[in-house]
Amino acid sequence: MAVSSAPGKVYLFGEHAVVYGEPAVPCAIEVRARVGVEKRADSKLRIHAEDLSLDGFTVEYGGTADGPPDVDVQESLLDAAMGYVDSAIEQVRDVTGEDQVGFDVTIESDIPLGAGLGSSAAVAVAAIDAGTRELGTTLETDELAERAYQTEYEVQGGQASRADTFCSATGGAVRVEGDDCRSLDAPDLPIVVGFDGGAGDTGKLVAGVRSLREEYEFAADTVESIGDIVRNGEQALAADDIEEIGRLMDFNHGLLSALGVSSRSLDSMVWAARNAGAHGAKLTGAGGGGCIVALDPTDETETALSYTPGCEDTFRAELAETGVERLE
């Protein structure tokens, strides 16, 4: 069996706008998905999922032609455990030329689903890396990131960006603008994450921004303004100016809220962090529920979030200097 892990991520700036060619800056954090892949003697795919925010499950099936398995779990978990793994395994088969090979796939994850921390990207990266290595092929990081992007692109109906998968594959802070992906130097950021226990519907939220952008010119201008924030944020990162990074994060959250992708719980956590003295705070990911990211070197933001109604968990997150890790 080959086992790989890949980190989740938070967005400092640029989610949603990155879909329209604007730059974005996510950074990998040390919460990880681990995927083990073992070749089978037949062509079936068996998925065993653990710790994906809900009770785990095991399902075995012969492929999409059999239809979805009849298991009593939420649709989002089923999509995560099957849709992304199905597509990732197709990438493995394409890379290796072994079209009929089957696998036992085990997923263990510390990353809550749909919460803006890049769970699907981490699973895709780790699954492709472990699957190809199980068949004797080791991919370079750039190809691994591209294959994982193709996985998300297929599952998300063409609405994915390269940001999440590139960040998960390479680790650290990265800049993504269209097809241009590169690593960035970043200071030691005092990252605090707040989680409301929920999950946003990424497809619906992305579609909502698209509709606004098509209907109102000022909504399109808002998306472009997020791109301007990212470009200023790059300068602040290069200067190790954490206070300026925080101010720009505040601006970014305000524009995302104007585009309709925040929520009452996310806004409550953002304001709790700011009132506690955080340098800045914003939602991270698609929005609609899930996580916020704040910058605070003290314990004040964690304490404030722990007493904020609607916040189910809060934790400090270290920057993940490495992306995919090969464990076995």
Residues tagged active-site: 164
**45-57 b/e (C-beta count within 10 Å ≥ 16 → b):** bbbbbeebbeebb
CA-to-CA dists, residue 21 to 28, 160, 220, angstroms: 21, 11, 12
Cα atoms found within 13 Å of the Cα of residue 154, Cβ hemisphere only: 18
Q: Which residues, in sequence order, are CB contacts of 45 under 8 Å at separation 6+?
A: 60, 61, 62, 63, 85, 86, 89, 102, 103, 105
Quote the DSSP letter at residue 183. E
In terms of phi and psi (left: phi > 0; alpha: psi -120 to 50; beta: otherwise), the region of 283 is beta
The residues pairing with 57 across neighbouring beta strands, listed in sequence order, are 49
Token pair recorded at residue 58: 């095991």
What is the C-alpha to C-alpha distance for residues 136 and 153, in angstroms, rounded to an integer?
Answer: 26
What is the C-alpha to C-alpha distance for residues 151 and 155, in angstroms, rounded to an integer?
Answer: 6
The residues pairing with 146 across neighbouring beta strands, listed in sequence order, are none
Quote the DSSP letter at residue 47. E
What is the C-alpha to C-alpha distance for residues 235 and 149, in angstroms, rounded to an integer?
Answer: 27
